[in-house]
Amino acid sequence: MNYKLHRKGNQNQTEKLTFDIEMEKDPPHVLIFPIPALGHVNSMLKLAELLSVDGIKVTFLNSEYNHDRLVRHTDVCSRYTQRLPGFQFKTITDGLPMDHPRTGDRSADVLHSVKSVTPPLLKEMLLNEIKPPVKCIISDGIMSSAIDVARDLGIPIIYFRTIGACALWAYYSLGEVIDAGELPIKGTEDMDRQIKNVPGMETYLRCRDLPSFCRADDPMDKTLQLFMSETRSTPRADGLILNTFEDLEGPILSQIRSICPNIYTIGPLNAHLKARVPENTSLKPSNSFWEVDRSCISWLNEQPLQSVIYVSFGSITMLSREQLLEFWHGLMNSNKRFLWVIRPDSILGKDGENQIPEELVEATKERGYMVGWVPQEEVLAHEAVAMFLTHNGWNSTLESTVAGVPMLCWPYFADQQVNSRFVGEVWKIGIDMKDVCDRKVVEKMVNELMMERKDEFKKSSSEMADSARKSVNEGGSSYCNLDRLINDISLMSSRAHSC
Ligand code: UDX
C-alpha cells in the first residue's frame, strides 16, 4: 500500500503549501494507551479517530474493565473498528479485582495499580501480540513506565497529557514549591496565601488553587510524590500532545516549552473532530461508561432560551448527602430551571443512604430534571442552556469553552483546582466557588452569572468560543499542529526499530 500524507499550508503562509510524504511501506502503526479513567480515554479516543481518518493505523489499548463498559453503553465497535480501516482495540488488565469500585474516592488505587502491573505486560504485548509491529507509541502522559518500555524496544514515544497546560505546569513546578517551603499548607487559614514558585502564576495562584493532592500534611505523601515524579518525566518523551489551544494557554505553554520544546497543542479535540470529520456529529457519543438518557434533550426543547443551569460533576466525583442537599436548595432558591446529572454511583453513603431522596426528586419536577448521564456536548450546545455548574474536569472545561457557556466552578480533585482558578481569574469565563458548598453561596453565584453580570460573562465566553473554533479550522494553530504531529509520526515511524 502506498501511504500518502497531505499536509496543507500553515497560518503564516499566504500561498498554500501542499507536500506529500510518500512511503514505500504500510502506514505507520501507532499504539495509543490511556490510563483507565473516562476523562483520559475520552480525549485519547478522539485523537485516535483523528489519526485514523488520516490513514494512520491505530491500536487502542483499553483496560479490560473500561472496555467492557464502553462496549455495553456505546457504539465504539461500529464507530471505530468497522468504520476506520486499520483500527483495532486491545485490552489489558488494570491490576484491580473486577469488583473494585474505581470511583473518585478510590482513583489513586487505579494509578498505583497500573504503575505496578503494566510495564511487563505492555512489553510482552508489543513483542508478541500486537501486529503489525508498533512504530510509535502515544501514551498517557502520566505513565513514565511506558517510556522505559519504548526505549527498551527502540520505539519512539509521544506523551499525551490529558489535563490542561495550566495544571501540567503547576504539577511540574511542585518540586520548587516544596523546596521553597511553600508546602505543606498550614491549615485552612493558610489557604489564600499566594504561591510564588510556579513561574508565570505568581500573581494569582493561591494555596487553595494548587492540585488537590497538595493538601496532604506530608510533602512525602505517596500520591503527591507519584504525580510529581510522573510529571517530571515529561521531557523524556519525544514530544508532548496537549488538548488545548494557543489562544487559551499561550503564556503557560511558553513556560512548558522551556523544558519540553516539542509540544503539539491540538485542542479542543471535540471541536477539532467536528471540524475535520463533519459526519462525526451524527454519530453517538463514544465516551460513556453509562447509558445516555436522551430524554433530557426533549426536556430542554421545552425550556425557554438561555434559562437552564446545566449541572454535572463528571465521571468520578462523589458527593456527600449534605453536599447534594446544599446544591439542591441553592438551585431551587435561585428560582432558575436546572438539568442535573447524578450518576448512579455518585452519592457517598452506605446502602439506602446513597440514593437521591424521593421527596427531592418529586420537588425537583417543578422546574428541574435529574438524569443519570446525558450527551454532554449536545446539552452544552443547546440554546436553552445558560450556564454550567461544573467540577472543571478538563474535558468539561473545554467543552463548555467551545460552547461559549459560562461556568460556575466547584472543583473536586487533582487538576480541577487549577482549572477553576484559570476559568475565574485568568480567562474570566466563569466564577470559582471552590471549597464552599453552601446553598446561599450557590444561589448568589447563580444570580451573579445569570443576571447581575450576565452580559459580561456572555461576552467573554463567546469571544473564547470564537478563538477555540478558529484554532481548529484550516490554518488555525491546532489544525496546523495536528498536521505536524501526523507528519512527525510518519517520520519517527520510518526510523523506529522493528521489535
Ligand atoms: C477527570 C478529568 O479529566 C480530570 O480533571 C482528572 O484529572 C481526571 O479525570 P472527569 O471527572 O470524568 O475526568 O471529567 P471530564 O474531564 O470533564 O470528563 C467528563 C466527560 O464525560 C466529558 O467529556 C463529558 O462530556 C462527559 N459526560 C459527562 C457526558 O458525556 N455525560 C454526562 O452526563 C457527564
> The pTM is what?
0.93
Would 2-182+216-282+469-498 and 295-466 be classified into the same CATH topology?
yes
How far does residue 419's CA lie from ligand 1's centre (Å)? Answer: 13
In CATH terms, the fold of domain 2-182+216-282+469-498 is Rossmann fold (3.40.50)
Report the run of H or E that residue 265 belongs to, with start and end.
Answer: strand 263-265
Residues with CB under 6 A from ligand 1: 37-39, 42, 163, 285, 287-288, 312, 314-316, 341, 373-374, 376-377, 393-396, 399, 414-416
- The string of pLDDT tens digits covering residues 157-200 is 999 999 999 999 999 999 999 999 999 999 888 999 999 999 99
pLDDT exceeds cutoff 50 at 6: no
Ligand 1 atom closest to the CA of 373, numbered from 1: 33
Ligand 1 atom closest to the CA of 377, numbered from 1: 25
pLDDT of residue 23: 43
Over residues 287-295, the mean pLDDT reads: 87
Torsion, Cα of 56, 30, 233, 219 (10° steps): 100
Per DSSP, helices labelled H in 74-210 are 76, 107-124, 144-153, 165-172, 174-179
Ligand 1 atom closest to the CA of 380, numbered from 1: 25
Residue 162: how many other CB atoms lie within 10 Å: 27
In CATH terms, the fold of domain 295-466 is Rossmann fold (3.40.50)
How far does residue 420's CA lie from ligand 1's centre (Å)? Answer: 14
User: For the chain, what are the domain ranges?
Assistant: 2-182+216-282+469-498, 295-466
- Cα–Cα distance measured from residue 428 to residue 461, given in angstroms and rounded to the nearest whole number: 8
- The string of pLDDT tens digits covering residues 125-163 is 999 999 999 999 999 999 999 999 999 999 999 999 999
Over residues 255-272, the mean pLDDT reads: 97
How far does residue 133's CA lie from ligand 1's centre (Å)? Answer: 32
